[in-house]
A and B are shown apart, each in its own frame.
Chain A
Amino acid sequence: MHASSTDGTATPKVELRNVNLRYFSLEGETEALRDTSFSIAPGEFVAIIGQSGCGKSTLLSLISGILKPTDGAVLVDGKLVNGPSRKVGYMLQQDYLFEWRTILENAVLGAEIQGANMTTAREHAKQLLTKYGLGQFLHHLPRQLSGGMRQRVALARTLCTEPEIVLLDEPFAALDSQTRIALADEVTEILRREGKTAILVTHDIGEAISMSERVIVLSRRPGRVKSEHSIRFATSDGLRPNPFSARSAPEFNGYFNALWKELEVHVEG
């Protein structure tokens, strides 16, 4: 059950070494993460679950480089993270599409901020949006799109700058359950095909099991790695099933119950 997927030979794509993070404010300090360590291999899809307020978003902010750990080290490709980098794309819980920009302009925001070649960026964004079924909406405004479509635009914006690591912070939380499952399929497919390393934060145990190869459970605040679970499905072709069919795989319930128990322990104490 407590399996680690790092094989020790290759450099991990992302590594946290004894990371502590405390927020300081007038009311006092909040210890969000204490002595958190884990590593993620290139191309791996990892889900992080844990109680509300246990520091999951904080963890992603650390990896994306917008927060600095109070202690310990965050490494990407074996190098210390010291600020946001193009290697990491961050997709937030809400889509944060800006109403004063069209869909296409929203999608190229990253390129614009990074001062990249805008013609190439626009071409790339158009390709991505068309691939995600939004080809007819390039010049629409965000409010004209449905929640699922908006999330796809947010995904295009994240992938447009070609990050190697994609951080997803409850990206489907605002969607209805059908759209959620359908979009989870699409997103997993896209990230797998492009060989991205992905870290998904979610409250939804089913989502974690069906999308990822490994689930990391964080303890209550201050967050620490409580346990890690490798998720494997036996399939006839030996390939990983897509999230939708994973939900009906025989192994699913076992994983679900195990993770459910892990989380319940937190509630009790």
Chain B
Amino acid sequence: MAVQDSPHVADVALDLAPAKPVTNTTAKPVHRLPVQIDWPTWAIVTTQAGILVGIIGLWEAAATTSVIDAFFWSQPSAIWHTLKIFFTTGDAWTDISFTFRSTIFGFLLGTAAGSLLGLSFWWSRNYAAIVQPYIICLESIPKLALAPLIILVFGIGLGSKVAVATALTLVVSTLTAYAGVKALDPDGEKLFYSLGATRWQVFRKLVVPFCLPWIISVLRVNIGLALTGAIVGEFIASQHGLGRAILYAGQTYDIALVWVAVLVLSTLAIIMYAAVSWLESLLRKGTRQ
């Protein structure tokens, strides 16, 4: 019996022996693929609202107990009060409309002109080679630095704000549309010509639809840039607009009004961004990308 048992015992010993170092090395934890349980939307939204209310509450409390200086930081109740005044007896709608128009016109003009310029490089390689360094130059200049000059040339009205917004969006659109043109396959053009197409037909039926996804992809970037351009234009010299309201309120230490204008501006930005995103998805569906 004892003889029969011995190998069995030995087996156990063998099993145990390597088990020890294994338990020692588990000091470094290993991880499985992490499994995250997604919260339902309502839980996310409630938490987000909670955080917002918390921040506003803390701010208000800190201001009333003078933990922070309400003169510099203002406080939610005062901001709310100013907001109501801004929309009832103030210039809210004039300012919103002014900034909105500068942004939209600048966005449309810059995007359209830029895309056309970028597409036009398809027409001739020499022309593209000649113009390209200028575009790169324009791209690298901080366009906002030119804003004072633009205001001088275009005056302090809407035109100068549109011009700054256009300057910001134009170059981005040009370069993106040109990237599309460069991605064109020469054999695709060969096919068109072999079917007897004119250059204009190739442009309309091949180059434009091919580059559309590129053009569409910058719309959202451009609406943000156009708004920045419009605001900076208003900062420099303007009689209307949310940018001007912010600057004016800051200079007169009306901090509550600064917050109100920033709030309205952000809302405007979000609405325009959402509208452009919607337009983009619509266009993508239209062009089947």
B206 CB-CB contact with A under 8 Å: yes
Cβ-defined contact, B289 with A99, below 8 A? yes
| Residue contact B190 to A114, C-beta cutoff 8 Å | no
In the complex, identify which listed stretch (B35-43, B110-118, B195-203, B237-245) lies at the interface while the others stay far away: B195-203
Q: Across the interface, which residues of B come within 8 angstroms of A66, CB to CB?
A: 190, 193-194
Residues of A within 8 A of B250 (CB): none
- Number of residue pairs across A and B with beta carbons under 8 Å? 57
Give every chain B residue within 8 A of A88 (Cβ-Cβ).
194
C-alpha spacing A168/B52, complex, angstroms: 66
Q: Which of B188, B191, B205, B210 has the most CB of A within 10 A?
A: B191
Known contacts A100-B288, A113-B201: A84-B191 contact under CB 8 Å: no
Asked whether any CB of chain B lies closer than 8 Å to the CB of A227, the reply is no
Closest CB in chain B relative to A244 CB, distance in Å: 29
Known contacts A96-B187, A100-B209; is-contact A161 B195 (Cβ 8 Å): yes
Task: Check B48 for interface membership: any CB of A closer than 8 A.
Answer: no
A110 interface residue, CB < 8 Å from B?
yes
Band of interface residues on A: 20 to 34
> When the two chains form their complex, are residues B288 and A84 in contact, meaning their CB atoms are under 8 A apart?
no
* Given A113-B201, A113-B205, CB of A96 within 8 Å of CB of B191: yes
- Interface assignment of A64: CB less than 8 Å from any CB of chain B: yes
Q: Is A261 an interface residue (CB 8 A)?
A: no
Q: Taking chain A's interface residues, is the majority helix, strand, or loop, or is none over half, making it mixed?
A: loop
Q: Is A90 an interface residue (CB 8 A)?
A: yes
Q: Which residue of B lies closest to A160 (CB)?
A: B195
Total residues of chain B contacting the partner, CB 8 A: 20
Tell me the smallest distance from the CB of A106 to a CB of chain B, in Å: 11
Partner of A114, one of B185, B195, B210, B289: B195
A12 to B288, alpha carbons, bound, how many Å?
Answer: 45
Known: A92-B190, A100-B288. A110 touches B209 (CB 8 A): no
Give residues 82-96 of A contacting B (CB, 8 Å). Answer: 83-86, 88-90, 92-94, 96
Residue numbers in A under 8 Å from B195 (CB-CB): 84, 90, 109-110, 113-114, 161
In the bound complex, residues from chain B placing their C-beta under 8 Å from that of A75 are none
Would you call A86 and B190 a contact (CB within 8 A)? no
Interface flags for A8-46 (1: CB within 8 Å of B; 0: not) read 000000000000000000000000000000000000000
For window 220-238 of chain A, which residues contact chain B by CB distance below 8 Å? none
| Complex CA–CA separation, A114 to B205 (angstroms) | 13
Chain B min CB distance to A136 (Å)? 19
Residues in A with CB closer than 8 Å to B289 are 99-100
List, in ascending order, chain A residues with CB within 8 A of B287's CB.
Answer: 100
- Seen from chain B, the residues whose Cβ lies within 8 Å of a Cβ on chain A are 185, 187-188, 190-197, 201, 205-206, 209-210, 212, 287-289
- In the A-B complex, the 10 residue pairs with the smallest Cβ-Cβ separation, listed nearest first, are A90-B194, A110-B195, A100-B209, A113-B197, A84-B196, A113-B195, A64-B194, A66-B193, A96-B191, A96-B188
Knowing that A66-B193, A84-B193, A86-B196 touch, tell me 9 more A-B residue pairs with CB under 8 angstroms. A61-B190, A83-B196, A88-B194, A92-B191, A98-B188, A100-B209, A112-B205, A113-B192, A114-B195
Q: What are 11 A-B contacts with C-beta separation under 8 Å?
A: A61-B190, A84-B193, A84-B194, A90-B194, A93-B187, A98-B188, A100-B212, A100-B287, A112-B205, A113-B196, A113-B197
